[in-house]
Amino acid sequence: MSNEIIYLDNNATTPLDPRVLEAMMPYFTNNFANAASTHQFGLGAYEAVKEARKQVAGLIGAETNEIIFTSGATEAINLAIKGVAEAYSQKGNHIITVSTEHSAVLDTCQYLETKGFEATYLPVKKDGLLDLETVRNAMRPETILVSVMHVNNETGVIQPIREISEIAHQSGALFMTDATQSLGKIPVDVDNLGIDLLTFSGHKIYGPKGIGVLYIRQRQNRVKIPALLHGGGHERGFRSGTLNVPGIVGLGKACELAGKEMAENEKKIREMRDFLEENFLKNERVTLNGNSKERIFNTLSFCIEGIDANILVSKLKNIAFSNGSACTSALIEPSHVLLAMGLSDTDAFSTIRVSLGKYNTVQEINTVSKMFFSWID
Query: What single string gives the DSSP state of each residue in 129-197?
Result: PPPHHHHHHH--TTEEEEE--SB-TTT-BBP-HHHHHHHHHHTT-EEEEE-TTTTTTS---TTTTT-SE
Residue 2 has pLDDT above 50, yes or no: no
Confidence of residue 362 (pLDDT cuts 50, 70, 90): very high
Please tell me whether residues 42 and 97 are part of one structural domain: yes
Q: What is the mean pLDDT of residues 157-171?
A: 98
Please tell me whether residues 318 and 200 are part of one structural domain: no
Q: Worst-scoring range by mean pLDDT, 246-255, 262-271, 277-286?
A: 277-286
Asked if residue 333 is part of any domain, the answer here is yes
Strand partners, 295: 157
pLDDT in tens, 309-338: 888 888 888 999 998 655 555 567 889 999
Residue 5, classed as helix, strand or coil, is coil
Which pTM does this prediction carry?
0.94
Q: Worst-scoring range by mean pLDDT, 57-61, 229-233, 350-354?
A: 229-233
Asked if residue 164 is part of any domain, the answer here is yes
Please tell me whether residues 119 and 48 are part of one structural domain: yes
In the prediction, which pLDDT does 377 show? 66
Top-ranked range on mean pLDDT: pick from 41-50, 257-266, 332-341:
257-266
Please tell me whether residues 32 and 157 are part of one structural domain: yes
Please tell me whether residues 148 and 26 are part of one structural domain: yes
In the prediction, which pLDDT does 361 show? 96
Please tell me whether residues 204 and 274 are part of one structural domain: no
Q: Among the three residues 256, 273, 295, which one is the final residue of a domain in this structure?
A: 256
Question: CA end-to-end span of the chain, whole Å?
Answer: 19
In the prediction, which pLDDT does 333 show? 84
Q: Worst-scoring range by mean pLDDT, 226-230, 272-276, 303-307?
A: 226-230
Please tell me whether residues 69 and 205 are part of one structural domain: yes
Please tell me whether residues 131 and 271 are part of one structural domain: no
Q: Worst-scoring range by mean pLDDT, 146-160, 179-193, 312-326, 335-349?
A: 312-326
Measured distance CA(295)–CA(127) in Å, rounded = 10
Q: Among the three residues 256, 290, 325, which one is the final residue of a domain in this structure?
A: 256
CATH code for position 289: 3.90.1150.10
In the prediction, which pLDDT does 327 show? 58
Please tell me whether residues 225 and 281 are part of one structural domain: no
pLDDT in tens, 234-264: 877 688 788 999 999 999 999 999 999 999 9
Q: Among the three residues 256, 282, 304, which one is the final residue of a domain in this structure?
A: 256
Asked if residue 217 is part of any domain, the answer here is yes
Asked if residue 56 is part of any domain, the answer here is yes
Q: Specify the number of domains making up the chain.
A: 2
In the prediction, which pLDDT does 324 show? 61
In the prediction, which pLDDT does 67 show? 97
Please tell me whether residues 249 and 281 are part of one structural domain: no
Please tell me whether residues 89 and 206 are part of one structural domain: yes
Measured distance CA(352)–CA(305) in Å, rounded = 11
CATH code for position 44: 3.40.640.10
Asked if residue 33 is part of any domain, the answer here is yes
Of 243, 256, 338, nearest to 19 (Cα)?
256
Strand bridging mode 286-288 / 212-216: unpaired
Hey, CA dihedral for 333, 7, 303, 310, is it positive or negative? negative
Q: Cβ atoms within 10 A of the Cβ of 268, count?
A: 18
Please tell me whether residues 40 and 184 are part of one structural domain: yes
* Residues identified as active-site: 327
Asked if residue 1 is part of any domain, the answer here is no
Q: Worst-scoring range by mean pLDDT, 2-11, 107-116, 264-273?
A: 2-11
Confidence of residue 221 (pLDDT cuts 50, 70, 90): confident
Domain region containing 93:
18-256
Which amino acid is residue 198, in one-letter code? L
pLDDT in tens, 86-98: 999 999 999 999 9
Measured distance CA(107)–CA(149) in Å, rounded = 14
